[in-house]
Amino acid sequence: MMRSDRAKTGPERAPHRSLLKAAGYCDWEIERPWVGVANAYNQIIPGHVHLRRITEAVKAGIYAAGGLPIEFPTIGVCDGIAMNHLGMKFSLPSRELIMDSIEVMAQAHAFDALVLVTNCDKIIPGMAMAAARLNIPSIVISGGPMLTGTLHGREIDLNTVFETVGKHIAGKASDADLLEVENAACPGCGSCAGMFTANTMNCMMEALGLGLPGNGSIPAVHAERERLAKDAGRAVMALIEKDIKPRDILTREAFENAVAVDLALGGSTNTALHLPAIAWAAGLSLDLELFNELGGKVPHICSMSPGGSYHIQDLYRAGGVQAVMARLARGGLLHENCLTVTGATQGENIAGARVVDDEVIRPLDRPYHATGGLAVLRGSLAPDGAVVKQSAVAPEMLVHTGPARVFDSEEEAFAAIQARKIVEGDVLVIRYEGPKGGPGMREMLSPTSALAGMGMDKTVALITDGRFSGASRGASIGHISPEAAAGGPIALVREGDPIHIDIPGKKIDLLVDEAELARRRAAWKPYVQAVDSPFLSRYRRVVTSGMSGAVLE
């Protein structure tokens, strides 16, 4: 019996069938398996503006393989456009809305399976969480990465624009320079060209086994992307036939594979939010200490923007995620027996994969860094942990002690940067931006990029209970937990307090004695960022810590 039989089979379902016929479906179509196709198309996210084309290809594949594709929409936030204003408070919370909306559609209409057409930051994990929660045959297909822009013979991307804003503040770029970069950086559709959050998560879908080989790296404008979408439509029909469900794929070993690939790629710190959240939706627990455990074994072998000079199109050209996984497997760093949406194991999928450029994907014995791209820090400032993309930190900032410069919102901190009030050696503290405090755990790309553009990413550290864009680089340490709104030690920091950061040692400490901290705690009153939004107020009440994935209670 198919799930859809509950909505279409028997004389008592004649009204249901009548409504389906009103939508144009024939009896012989209604009898087919119903495959919900969640289309995240909208006209404001450049990674999504072409998803109608991708969705039509998915539907063609489903139809050709004997299914009935039923398209429905989801929302999506463009983090770049939402950055550095009220809009960013809504970005992370949109993940749960996406998950919930897909659950509503799939359960209300008794879909037999799902194809999830996505591309950008919160939409990818939101859809993967829905698949894990519903546990019906599902496959994720992305719209693919944007190509890089070119300017004066060099490749540039969105991060170049943000960093040029910093140069503009420092007087190193004119209005004309900024406009020239603005016009060239983003040449067309696709998820922004670096190993930022969207592309990291699309690579994670391959590593987890929820996406077909090529999902993470085939460029948006390539015909191969459309062919992959047709194959995804056909593949979901095979998943129905074989009764392969997301939780058959999303095992503990699959998450270990994803973390290993993330460390090798030097992916976004936001994976430390999204992988635990997907695991939670699948009924598993993913302790972030796994990043440190595997980080000591898995080297960083891909130097991608923003920390390096290569882009996703280079990863594609070099062999893609499958080639990275094949290289890890040969070093005994991958579970090859994990099932995937191809119906085969990861080991079977990567059997023919090979690296064709040893600089884009370096050998394990000649990595860019001996340890993985992300690290989890703990200490008196972050007892529950904090996250840093260590592969994007300059060597001179891996260990740093400096005076705290304390701000209770991103806007205050960015204004101080613009006013040139931050000096070399400072540790910029942005607090009350966590999941509850913000609320919404905003990304801090504008401050980090401004510092980089001003040439201060090698002299100034930035720490926050909020989070960072995958496009951030420098000593940017986020997810400080417990957050300030929950009374974490970051709430007790005062201007000038010495803060010690030791990334190789996985430590971050507030160098203030316990007696003084006890006095401060006794006098502490939480600062609450006011929000005129019933949605965000509700989110604030039920969201959990960033170190547990910021899922909802």
Catalytic residues: 469
Task: Give me the DSSP letters along 83-148.
Answer: TTSGGGGGHHHHHHHHHHHHHHHHHHTT-SEEEEEE-STTHHHHHHHHHHHH-SSEEEEE--BPPP
Rounded Cα gap, residues 274 and 284, in angstroms: 13
Rounded Cα gap, residues 16 and 28, in angstroms: 15
Cβ-contact 322, 216 below 8 angstroms: no
Which backbone phi and psi does 359 adopt, to 5 degrees? -95, -40
Cβ-contact 207, 261 below 8 angstroms: yes
* Antiparallel, parallel or unpaired: β 149-151 and 154-156: antiparallel
DSSP tag of 543: B
Rounded Cα gap, residues 498 and 506, in angstroms: 17
- Pair of tokens at residue 45: 């996210």
Rounded Cα gap, residues 482 and 431, in angstroms: 11
Smallest Cα–Cα separation from 434: which of 482, 476, 499, 394? 482
Cis amide prior to 367 (ω within 30 degrees):
no
